[in-house]
């Protein structure tokens, strides 16, 4: 079966007046359709750079990215990117914020507007459509940001620490909420996070990177009972601590303090 996403021998270096900084070195992996992959690694190892390369925001120094068996060239509309901050515009209400991506891509019409309305209703924000972002909680703002991304109907979602700005209790609830939304939509997702518990609770597989220049150290498959079908339920499973220790030990062996 052809992978939904395939990264082949990806390397990247940044250049400045001080010389070359090698961020990633010979990264190769694939993601199946509907799979939820988490990526963890030492701080500054290049996790966010990897997502920027996959999204097409920057061009790799070496290597290729393939989607559905076709080589990717530049940004691809099949990829949606959710950043650390929600970046909702205060002068626009929640509905118009959710429509922003469609507007930028010149895809805003009555059909796509109705799709946004249905997403807002499905995920509990229809009553807040006319409100400004400052009138919503942090968790609701992140849900609105996800709807803005889903409105573009991407096949693949890239999540760059989307819960890191939230307090711990809200973070748990929003992580559970958004993970369930992504799975219910059948999306292929890649999450970058520093939170190992978060990675274990949401992922089907965890990819562990080394220090910079990052390489893939190991990949840990995650499997919970079928009835543990949400991140919060997974955290209560006996397997959770075992997976957490496996990830933590792998990172520690790589010199992470």
Are 115 and 185 contacting, i.e. CB atoms less than 8 angstroms apart? no
CA–CA separation, 79 vs 189, rounded Å?
10
What is the mean pLDDT for each group of 10 consecutive residues in the chain (257 residues)? 94 84 94 96 90 92 94 88 87 96 92 94 92 92 90 93 82 87 91 95 96 94 94 95 96 62
Omega prior to 113 cis, within 30 of 0: no
* R_g of the chain, CA atoms, integer Å: 18
Are 98 and 146 contacting, i.e. CB atoms less than 8 angstroms apart? no
The CA distances from residue 203 to 9, 136, 178, in Å, are: 23, 28, 13
pLDDT at residue 254, rounded to an integer: 55
User: Partners of 79 in the beta sheet?
Assistant: 156
pLDDT at residue 74, rounded to an integer: 80
Q: Which phi and psi angles does 33 have, rounded to 5°?
A: -60, 130
pLDDT at residue 138, rounded to an integer: 86
Q: Please, what is the Cα angle at 48 between 246 and 182, to 5 degrees?
A: 75
Instruction: Identify how many contiguous H helices and E strands the chain contains and give both numbers.
Output: 9, 10
**Would you call 11 helix, strand, or coil by DSSP?**
strand
DSSP-assigned letters across all residues of 138-164: HHHHHHHHHHHHHTT--SEEEEESTTT
């Amino acid at each position: 079966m052809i992978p939904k996403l395939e990264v082949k021998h990806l390397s990247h270096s940044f250049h400045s007046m001080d010389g070359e900084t090698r961020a990633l070195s010979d990264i190769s992996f694939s993601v199946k359709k509907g799979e939820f992959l988490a990526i963890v690694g030492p701080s500054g190892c290049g996790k966010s750079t990897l997502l920027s390369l996959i999204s097409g925001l920057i061009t790799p120094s070496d290597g290729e990215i393939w989607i559905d068996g076709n080589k990717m060239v530049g940004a691809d509309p099949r990829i949606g990117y959710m950043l650390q901050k929600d970046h909702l515009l205060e002068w626009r209400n929640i509905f118009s914020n959710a429509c922003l991506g469609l507007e930028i891509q010149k895809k805003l019409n009555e059909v796509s507007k109705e799709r946004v309305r249905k997403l807002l209703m499905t995920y509990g924000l229809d009553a807040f459509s006319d409100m400004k972002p400052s009138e919503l909680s942090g968790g609701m703002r992140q849900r609105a940001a996800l709807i803005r991304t889903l409105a573009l109907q991407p096949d693949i979602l890239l999540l760059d620490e989307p819960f890191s700005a939230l307090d711990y209790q809200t973070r748990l609830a929003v992580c559970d909420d958004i993970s369930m939304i992504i799975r219910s939509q059948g999306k292929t997702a890649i999450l970058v996070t520093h939170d190992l518990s978060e990675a274990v609770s949401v992922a089907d597989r965890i990819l562990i990177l080394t220090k910079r220049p990052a390489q893939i150290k190991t990949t840990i498959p995650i499997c919970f009972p079928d009835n543990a079908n949400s991140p919060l339920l997974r955290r209560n499973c006996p397997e959770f601590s075992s997976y957490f220790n496996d990830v933590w030990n792998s990172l520690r062996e790589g010199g992470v303090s």
